[in-house]
Amino acid sequence: MKKGKGKGRRLSLGATLAFSAAVISFLLAAACIVAGAIWHTRATAQEREELGDTLAHELARAVSEEELGSGEPEMRERLTDIRDTAGARRVYICAPDREGNTVVADSETGTGEAAFDPDLFDVETILSGGEPGAQRRGTRVICPAPIDGADRLLYAVVEFDIGGAIRSATVWTAMAAAAAAVLSAMLSALYWLLVKKSVITPIKRISDAAADYSEGGNRQAFAKLRFAGSAELTGLANSFRMMLAEIEVNNMEQQELAVQEQKNAGDMALASGLNAAARPKELPADRDYPFRLGGMVNESGRALTGCFYDYFVTEGDRLCFTLGETSGEGLSQALFAVIGETTLKSHLRSGMPLEEAVSAANRQLYEMSGGAMYLSVAAGVLDGTTGRMKIINAGQCLPLLMRFTEGRFDKTGTLPQVPLGQNENVSFTALELELRQGDRIFLHTEGIEDIEDQGGRPFREELRKRLNELKTRMADPAGQLRLISDAGGAYAGYSGAIKPYALMSVEYCRRDKMEAHCVVSADAAGGAEYIDFLRKQLRANDVPGKQAAETLVVADELMALCRSVASTDSRLMAECAIRDDLAVLRIRGRMGGSDPLSGHGALTGQADFVRRSCERVLFEHGEDGDTVTAVRKIGR
């Protein structure tokens, strides 16, 4: 036995089994003995009742009232013979009445006037013509029978005493219990020996072998365990041996995995450092560039991937940008991506045309890898002064273009060409675009399109839907990328469904003298920003001072009305177009579907003022938002 911490002593498995067997054997034997004693007592009582009833009726039929009066000695002798023959305790004849039972003749005392037990019979039942049956009084069994043909009520009674039978049953029970206890002890001992040989000893050997293994022993100890007549325990030992073999194999795999993870950690640190060093620097905030842009790489915890984006500005506000990835994952692919990105950037910085720069980078990368590794790239150049853009798609996803006037992203006509480094003899062709203020181009790698939901549906079509939402279109380029990345993460059925990807968004911002726009917040700061934007547009179009001042007042009231129905955290897009002597002011955003110029109370005067000051005011409600357009003469 073993004493556990904080607990009492515990029985071993063998002792527990032997004790359980002994208790069960004793309880079963005791139950059988007690049941036998009860049955024996009841059977004896029933036998005496049947015998007494038979003798009492025979005596009642054989005795007449004349015989009772013929003399006491003969009747007593007759009753005594019946008692001795039947083994009864007493045989007598009595006359019951309401005051008791007078004994007429008795095997013990003869006749007399002695009163017998008045509760022997149910007198009311007898007087009403009923016949009492056999009764038990403690250890006495009393069997009466009426004597027919007498002038008065007479009953022949045979009485037995079953106390002796009960005492015999008790003695038998005690002896049987003692014998059962001895037998239970012998059977328990035999059971213990059998269990010890066939179960306890084998289990102890298995336990000792397991303890030896846990202390550094060899698992081959299990191979020596053989148990005759117990295939189950032999199979258990074999199972232990196989399980330990699997554990050792798993431990070796875990060790190899730990070594590999340590190596990967070093590779990932190196690749992450290279990727971070290759990421473009933010454009200086002190310069007003004619474009806005944003880029991001989502690696989903795997830094050994070749996704990247890059941009830089050369003389004359010439923006060069690239986005791409290598095939496969690993340190070699990550290094190749950095080399390819640097090579392409070097040729673009040289000032050569886009087509020549991409072709030169392709030849250099092919000489380096021999076509074993390649770079899928989208590269472009945007002239910030004219808005002209050239873009080449070398094995990348089709860029998406949004014209500000249309307000929707659609695919461009840049058909995929051969990735860089796959074939040295390739002539690349660029797609030329004319961008105006507010136009955007969205670049992405395949990882964002390949995200799948729980049903296995890709994010490809959902991507364009999310891009065309008003909230996404009105966000700045960096905010737009965050919204798309968050939408892809929410769309994924599980985290493993997200592969690494790169995103980039470029917006052309140079204002046209005749038509321009700005995006502002729906608060007081946004209103002030809108007025400053409009003042510059009116000055650029030579609008007279008085007309410009009045137009600014009308625009301020119009913006205040739109802000009153828009939520404070929303964004509003304000446009200004100058056509001859007309100024078209347009404000777009989510205004709850209600016309801001239909206000009541304090806003009624402002709405009336705007309507009187304009040639025309129009409100339109659409699925993507609400639009208020005001046309005013400027009298140039």
Write out pLDDT tens, residues 216-269. Answer: 565 556 555 655 555 666 666 666 667 766 777 777 777 777 666 666 655 555
- Give 374-388 as a 3 state SS string: CEEEEEEEEECCCCE
Strand residue runs (E) in 61-165: 90-97, 100-106, 115-116, 135-137, 140-146, 155-161
Taking the whole predicted model, whether its pTM rises above 0.75 is answered as no
Classify domain 515-633 at the CATH superfamily level: Histidine kinase-like ATPase, C-terminal domain (3.30.565.10)
Task: State the Cα angle at 435 between 432 and 436, rounded to 5°.
Answer: 160
Q: Lowest-pLDDT range, 93-102, 177-186, 391-400?
A: 93-102
3-state secondary structure of 326: strand
Q: How confident is the model at residue 127 (pLDDT cuts 50, 70, 90)?
A: low
DSSP classification of residue 399 = P
pLDDT reading at 524 higher than 80: yes
Q: How many Cβ atoms from other residues are within 10 Å of residue 451's Cβ?
A: 23
Q: How confident is the model at residue 500, as a pLDDT?
A: 87
Q: How confident is the model at residue 5, as a pLDDT?
A: 46
Residues 6+ apart with CB under 8 A from 230: 198, 199, 202
Q: What is the CA radius of gyration of the chain?
A: 56
In the chain, what are the domain boundaries? 15-166, 290-508, 515-633
With left for phi above 0 and alpha for psi between -120 and 50, is residue 398 left, alpha or beta? beta
Q: What percent of the chain has pLDDT over 70?
A: 77
Q: Lowest-pLDDT range, 115-119, 144-148, 459-463, 589-593?
A: 115-119
Amino acid type, 518: C
pLDDT reading at 414 higher than 50: yes
Q: How confident is the model at residue 1, as a pLDDT?
A: 40
Task: Look up the CATH architecture of domain 290-508.
Answer: 4-Layer Sandwich (3.60)
Q: Which CATH class is domain 15-166?
A: alpha beta
Residue 614 burial class via C-beta count within 10 angstroms: exposed 0-12, middle 13-18, buried 19 and up? buried
Mean pLDDT of 329-344: 84
pLDDT reading at 455 higher than 70: yes
Per-residue pLDDT tens over the stretch 502-515: 999 999 988 777 88
